[in-house]
Amino acid sequence: MRMSNMNVWIMVAVASAACLYPLQKMILKNHKSKKLVLSKEILKASSPYQINQPDATYELDNKLSEISGLSATQDSEVIIGVQDEDGILFYLDKTSGNLIREVKFAGDEDYEGIEVVNDQIFVVNSKGDLAYIAGDDDRDEVDSEKIKTFLKRSDDVEGLTYLPGQNALLVACKSNQDGKHDMRNVYLFDINSMQLMDEPFLELDPKDIADVLGRDSKIPYFSPSAIAVHPVSGEIFIVSSPAHAIIVFDKNGSIIDGANLDRVIHAQPEGMFIDDAGKLYIASEARGTVAKIRVFNPKPN
């Protein structure tokens, strides 16, 4: 007796489901296992951080869906952010992330980092040009001066932070123009002379970083998307959105530790700063939901 085509397809479907069920169980088990491992990731520094277990999460206004830089006011009481399209400073409540006010400082460009130094504000774009703002006096619009550097669009600047011991800024590049595509550079900008130093302050070797992270050095390269200096220890934190990882260097440029980031917690990390209490703030773009700031309290050693 011949079976109908319908019966054949039913039998095929049943057999396929029987084969797929163990595979689905294995995938789910592996996913849960990976999540458990990531949840226990500790970023070791002078004060450790449970980097995939935030102590607070702030959902940001839709105007900051493409947040790209993060800092804090001089008194460390208010967060200031920029996003990568508009020349606007966004002032945020430090305890909630709520938008307080906006200040226009320049025209539209690809802004990637912000840093407050005393009463001065610096904003960097992807070409390495700095917008310098002498101070903010509660107006809705302030003047800024553009400072050009030797960096180019091919350097793809992504991070900016303050190095207090040298009264300088660190400028982190996601790529480079010299053809050494396996290296990523961090340059020092001297505030006294308003000049970017020719030689890199840090050279990031993807192999060394991959060794720390326990990864294959080729997948993917560690390309910075944000940088921050711990105000007490001087340690340098660099996060990479493409690599979904974070690295800590001591103030002499030696790697201390690294940690892998949970893609659910850190969808696309693009901004970062550390406040005077040692709390670590990491901002991620919306990626189809809403942009968020995750707050990580330092843990006891």
Same domain, 148 and 279: yes
281 falls within a domain: yes
pLDDT for position 31: 39
Q: What is the pTM of this model?
A: 0.87
> Is 271 in contact with 81 (CB distance < 8 Å)?
yes
- Total domain count, the chain: 2
pLDDT for position 30: 43
Q: What is the DSSP letter of 61?
A: P
CA distance 173 to 62: 27
pLDDT for position 216: 76
For residue 241, give the CATH number of its domain: 2.120.10.30
Same domain, 234 and 95: yes
301 falls within a domain: no
Same domain, 165 and 30: no
Domain, as residue range, for 6: 1-39
Same domain, 97 and 155: yes
Same domain, 128 and 268: yes
238 falls within a domain: yes
Same domain, 90 and 188: yes
CA distance 193 to 237: 25
pLDDT tens for each residue of the chain, 301 residues long: 445 666 656 665 666 656 665 544 443 334 344 555 677 899 999 999 999 999 999 999 999 999 999 999 988 899 999 998 899 999 999 999 999 999 999 999 999 999 999 989 999 999 999 999 997 777 889 999 999 999 999 999 999 999 988 999 999 999 887 665 678 999 999 999 999 999 999 999 888 898 999 887 666 678 999 999 999 999 999 999 999 999 999 999 999 999 999 999 999 999 999 999 999 999 999 988 999 999 999 998 7
Same domain, 127 and 191: yes
pLDDT for position 277: 94
pLDDT for position 129: 97
Cis bond leading into 220, ω under 30°? yes
pLDDT for position 75: 86
80 falls within a domain: yes
242 falls within a domain: yes
Same domain, 122 and 49: yes
Rounded to the nearest 10 degrees, how much is the dihedral formed by the CA atoms of 67, 262, 97, 224?
-40
